[in-house]
Structures are given as structure tokens and as C-alpha cells.
Structure 1
Amino acid sequence: MVSERSDAPNPARSAPSSNFMALKIMVAGGFGAGKTTLVGSVSEIRPLRTEERLTEAGRPVDSLDGVEDKATTTVAMDFDRITIHEDLALYLFGTPGQDRFWFMWDELAQGALGAVVLADTRRLRDCFPAVDYFEHRGIPFIVAVNCFDGARHYRAEEVGSALDLDPGTPVVLCDARERASGKEVLTALVEHASRLYAAQLVDDSHGA
């Protein structure tokens, strides 16, 4: 059962300013990387979940290697909201991790400012499809390495090299369970996407 967060600010208590902006963010990554956990940890509203219990019938297609304790999986999306400051709110859309649900990604990507790709170093190969998806579509993204208890820790530079990321793609370390850590990840994405869009505007103006 998901409970309402009581420790988060409620932007609905006051009317937004004329400069208020709401941005759409995708949270993607491999099966069991911690997407639902990250989205829920930063939420200031009652989270929307579309989780179903894993069954024996799904074992042939849902490998639990490295995440043997996982009991549920997202089958459509997760949705939450977080206010970064009084003029900026982020709407978070967590994607399903298994490839049989990827038909939803194109719908979720419409209008997105950018994406967070969550990586689990125990199953790093699982985030390759998400990295490829955003690279090929030109959607700004960062990689957030979810530092699981008991997993070997790597430096951000090592993960970026292993994923063969384009130069300039940020890699940050995080704990998806911690609200403060999740906010740092989202702030890093917004800053990265803002730099890319500002650079694109300059290039477009010079080419006009």
C-alpha cells in the first residue's frame, strides 16, 4: 500500500507565480534498477503505480539475477511530482524496464525535457537499450548509478567508459531510496538539459 507523503511541500497550497514552469522527466533503465524507488522517494503527491506481482510464468522472460528479492514490476508507468522551487515543478514518468513494454516509451517521451537512466552495476548491460533509445532520439539524458548495498562501487568515469557514452553525458552516483539524493539527480538532469537546449538555440541563431 502506498501512503501519502507528509513531509513534502504542497505547492497546491498557494497559487503558482506567472513564471511557474512544469517540466516532464522520464526515469528509465533496466529491470530492477530502482526506477519506482527513485520516483517514489522524491514524490510530494500520492504516487501513481502500475505494479504487478512477478509470477513463476514470467521467470523465463524476467531474469532475477542480481535482484532475487524483487517481487513486483512496473507494467505501464509510475507517475509523481516534485517541486524544485516555487517556480519549477517536475512531473516524473517512470518507464517499465522489460522490452515487451517498450511500446509505451514513445508515448511517454512526447514533450519530455530529458531523462534519467538508472544503472545497476551488477547488471550494467540492462541499461544499454535505454541509453541507445535517448541517444538515437536526441533526448537529453544523464546516467544515475544506483549504489545498491553490497554491490561493487565504481567511479562515475568508469561507468561512463563502460557504457561508451557520448562526451559530455553526465554520470552521477545516487541512492534511489534517499529523497535528497534523488533531488540531486533531477537537478543534474535539468541543468544538463538546459545547457544543451541553450547551446542549440545559439547554433540555430547563428545558422539563421
Structure 2
Amino acid sequence: MPDYIGSDPDPGPGLRGDERTVKALVVGHMGAGKTTMVDSISEIEPVKTEEAMTDAGTHIDRADLPDKTTTTVAMDFGRVHLSADLVLYLFGAPGQARFFDILEDLARGALGALVLCDPRHLAETYPILEVVEALGLPYVIAVNEFDDAPRYTEARLREVMGLDPSTPLVSCDARQRGSTRDALIVLVQHLLTTLPEPVR
């Protein structure tokens, strides 16, 4: 995968040679909704690497998610056309700190990241942000609006998360295709303002 926005020399099944491709990460803490987001938007059957959660992991991972029975252990993968000639390859990374090396591997060739967070657990987003910033990836924060989650103003979210004014922050519902698409469009628009022109 090229590490810039450009034509894909080997587009693969279902893609034309003149389509431009972008690799992007979907990251966030455990339970933020990454798998749900990739599943809601992907035009192909998403690749998932979920495993059943066990009692042995409750002291390592979060124990306050009684309805969550599986967790991503490697990655999620999906593909979506954001326009007629722009294809986005989405790589969802696991959110637990013990899997951060996988996140770093998935970041190779990625142009940026959509950082998904649950407003009920904002503090758990900070370690993810540290990794993304250390990797030098431009990113957009997407606040996943869970039904029972508190609603904060943008100003308050920026304050508690210490966001740079130039970092876009959006709200979304990871279950809804249209809402996920809007968040990804903001990410691509942000990338176009922050990335250098590709060398031809």
C-alpha cells in the first residue's frame, strides 16, 4: 500500500486502475466501537479477528463491559468508496495496551487515523492518542454517541482531551453507515490539508 494518496498499481478485485487509494486506521480504547464502525461502512465482507472474552482476561482488560463477549485481537479490515474514484482501506486496531505493537505495525503505510472514543471513558483514549502522536499520524477524534453516554460540548471535550485547535473533532454513531461515512470524510479532508504533495 502506498504511503500517500495515489493511484493503486494493483487495485485488486472490484477496483479500477485509475482509483486513488488511502489506508487509514480506526483506533480507540477497548469497547469504543471500532469493529462496529468498520462493519457498518465496509462495502466488502469485513475481515474480523475477534476472540471470545474469558474470565482470565478480566484482570487485564476492562471488566465493566458485561455485554461485550468478544474482542479484536489482531485487526478489522474493510473497504469503502468515499467517492467515485477514492477508495478508503480501513484497518481497525485492537484497543488494549498489550496489543499496541499491532497498532504500530498496522500504521505502516497509513496516512492517518480516526480515533474513536466512548465519552463515558474519555481517560482511556489518552494512551491511544499518545501512540498515534508518537507515530506522527494526523488524526481526527470521533466521539461515538452511545445511547446512555453523557453529551459534552466541543469546547469541554477539547479542554479535557488537550486537543490542538487544528485537530478536527466530530460526533458520530458507529452503528450508522451515514454517520460513519461523514466522520471518515472529515478525516480525508484533514489529511488533504496536512499531508505534503506526493512525489511523482
| Deviation for aligned residue 1:154 | 1.1
User: Is residue 104–residue 135 contact of structure 2 (8 Å, CA) maintained in 1?
Assistant: no
Task: Give the structure with the larger helix fraction.
Answer: 1
SS in 1 for 2:94: coil
Query: For residue 16 of structure 1, what is the amino acid of its counterpart?
Result: R
What CA RMSD, in Å, does the superposition of the two structures yield over aligned residues? 1.5
Following the alignment from structure 1 to structure 2, what is the Cα–Cα distance between the partners of residues 156 and 55? Answer: 37
SS in 1 for 2:188: helix
| Deviation for aligned residue 1:17 | 5.5
Alignment correspondent of 2:190: 192
| Deviation for aligned residue 1:139 | 0.7
Following the alignment from structure 2 to structure 1, what is the Cα–Cα distance between the partners of residues 63 and 186? Answer: 30
Among 112, 135, 138, the residue aligned to 2:136:
138
Q: Say whether 1:180 aligns with 2:182.
A: no
Following the alignment from structure 1 to structure 2, what is the Cα–Cα distance between the partners of residues 35 and 131? Answer: 15
The size of the alignment, in residue pairs, is 186
| Deviation for aligned residue 1:107 | 1.2
User: Is residue 157–residue 171 contact of structure 1 (8 Å, CA) maintained in 2?
Assistant: no
Following the alignment from structure 1 to structure 2, what is the Cα–Cα distance between the partners of residues 56 and 181? Answer: 34
Query: For residue 129 of structure 1, what is the amino acid of its counterpart?
Result: P
Which structure has the larger Rg? 1
Q: Deviations over 1:52-84 (max 9, x none)?
A: 01111111111132x321111000000000011
Following the alignment from structure 1 to structure 2, what is the Cα–Cα distance between the partners of residues 149 and 56? Answer: 27
SS in 2 for 1:79: strand
Query: For residue 84 of structure 1, what is the amino acid of its counterpart?
Result: L
Following the alignment from structure 2 to structure 1, what is the Cα–Cα distance between the partners of residues 102 and 136? Answer: 18
Query: For residue 25 of structure 1, what is the amino acid of its counterpart?
Result: A
Alignment correspondent of 1:110: 108
Q: Deviations over 1:5-45 (max 9, x none)?
A: xxxxxx955x6263x11110100010100000001100100
Alignment correspondent of 2:69: 71
Task: Give the structure with the larger strand fraction.
Answer: 2
Query: For residue 62 of structure 1, what is the amino acid of its counterpart?
Result: D
| Deviation for aligned residue 1:157 | 2.5
Alignment correspondent of 2:16: 16
| Deviation for aligned residue 1:103 | 1.1
Structure 1-normalised TM-score?
Answer: 0.85
Q: Say whether 1:86 aligns with 2:80.
A: no
Structure 1: which 5+ residue stretches go unaligned? 1-10, 202-208
Following the alignment from structure 2 to structure 1, what is the Cα–Cα distance between the partners of residues 155 and 183? Answer: 16
Q: Say whether 1:36 aligns with 2:35.
A: yes
SS in 1 for 2:31: coil
| Deviation for aligned residue 1:195 | 0.3
| Deviation for aligned residue 1:166 | 1.9
Paired-residue identity, %:
46
Q: Deviations over 1:77-111 (max 9, x none)?
A: 00000011121000000000111111111210011
User: Is residue 173–residue 180 contact of structure 2 (8 Å, CA) maintained in 1?
Assistant: yes
